[in-house]
């Protein structure tokens, strides 16, 4: 797999990364440990060098899993993790917390869980309205100077926050949702990142699984699957949004690819500093996603996709209201 550099940071990673959240959290029961380790190591063997986790995934279990899985090849991979929340006794998020002392505490704990002496990319998971972003960036800058962190990232931050943070400590990457069915970053975010030389790491590049074509109006989710509360995954919204999947399937058939591969190839074709991080718990899906790096979309292909998308209206919000309030600050 080819490598890409995240903006002007010099941080070089595989063109596709692996989002590891779903192995421990969010999409139903956690994957059995040895199976999860095997999947992570298979990704590395297939050329993936960029792995994404967070203290919130579990919490803590996903970082521990990644630390164990990647220990043999630690110097050959880039690990990104995140700070920014408090947790209650049951492990649920109990509020945002990006105070400087908390950031330091999370960094030290993450280093132990990841079995490493340096976090390659340390993201603020969500912007904390109670802590000035300059204080957040300054704390991470200190951690970089101390050698505990190598690069600073933001997640789901708005333009003003990105500018303020970048002025204190250069932001290597912004991680936000971006896909064929969530294109909001194109309006303000992508031009800003290009101006400042910041890389972009789209999460949910396959629309939380919907763009693969494996989900329809009749699909039922595990009781622990967070898609149960996502308006865009309500049965009536899935039925309405099927038009996008059908369109994707037609284009994929002509390219000799799958819908998922076309969706990922479309993201890779947008900018050379975009690195999607699709997640999966299945080895065959991992292989399929990695295959997207070899799918070349021509200018005509991209034009056809854009033209067809303009005729499709996506139904349903991407988050319930209380979660949407955390993004784009």
Handedness of CA 271, 16, 54, 110 (dihedral sign): negative
User: Do β-strands 50-52 and 78-83 pair in parallel, antiparallel, or remain unpaired?
Assistant: parallel
3-state secondary structure (DSSP) of residue 312: coil
3-state secondary structure (DSSP) of residue 173: strand
Cβ neighbours for 8, distance < 8 A, ≥ 6 positions apart: 170, 197, 198
Q: Are 169 and 151 in contact (CB under 8 A)?
A: no
Find tokens 């002509």 and name the residue. Answer: 254
- State the virtual CA torsion across 147, 151, 157, 158 in degrees, nearest 10: 120
Which residues are catalytically annotated?
57
Cβ neighbours for 177, distance < 8 A, ≥ 6 positions apart: 156, 185, 202, 203, 204, 318
CA separation for the pair 199, 191 (Å, rounded): 11
Q: Are 127 and 156 in contact (CB under 8 A)?
A: yes
Handedness of CA 4, 5, 7, 8 (dihedral sign): negative
3-state secondary structure (DSSP) of residue 180: coil
CA separation for the pair 32, 152 (Å, rounded): 31
């Amino acid at each position: 797999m080819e490598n890409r550099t995240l903006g002007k940071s010099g941080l070089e990673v595989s063109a596709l990364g692996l989002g590891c959240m779903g192995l421990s959290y969010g999409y139903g029961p956690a994957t059995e440990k040895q199976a999860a380790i095997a999947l992570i190591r298979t990704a590395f063997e297939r050329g993936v060098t960029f792995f994404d986790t967070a203290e919130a995934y579990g919490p803590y279990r996903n970082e521990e899993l990644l630390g164990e899985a990647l220990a043999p090849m630690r110097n050959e991979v880039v690990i990104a993790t995140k700070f920014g929340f408090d947790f209650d006794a049951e492990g649920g998020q109990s509020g945002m917390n990006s105070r400087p002392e908390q950031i330091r505490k999370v960094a030290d704990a993450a280093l132990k869980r990841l079995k490493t002496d340096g976090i390659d990319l340390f993201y603020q998971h969500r912007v904390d309205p109670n802590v000035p972003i300059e204080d957040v960036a300054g704390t991470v800058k200190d951690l970089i100077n101390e050698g505990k962190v190598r690069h600073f990232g933001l997640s789901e931050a708005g333009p003003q926050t990105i500018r303020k943070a970048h002025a204190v400590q250069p932001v290597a990457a912004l991680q936000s949702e971006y896909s064929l069915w969530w294109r909001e970053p194109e309006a303000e975010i992508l031009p800003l990142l290009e101006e400042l030389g910041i890389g972009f790491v789209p999460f949910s590049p396959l629309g939380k699984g919907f763009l693969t074509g494996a989900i329809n109006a009749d699909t039922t989710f595990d009781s622990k699957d967070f898609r149960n509360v996502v308006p865009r995954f309500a049965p009536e919204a899935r039925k309405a949004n099927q038009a996008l999947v059908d369109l994707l399937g037609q284009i994929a058939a002509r390219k000799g690819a799958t819908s998922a591969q076309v969706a990922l190839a479309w993201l890779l074709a947008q900018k050379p500093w975009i690195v999607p991080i699709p997640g999966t718990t299945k080895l065959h899906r991992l292989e399929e996603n990695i295959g997207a790096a070899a799918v070349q979309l021509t200018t005509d292909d991209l034009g056809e996709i854009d033209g067809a998308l303009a005729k499709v209206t996506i139904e349903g919000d991407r988050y319930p209201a209380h979660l949407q309030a955390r993004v784009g600050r």
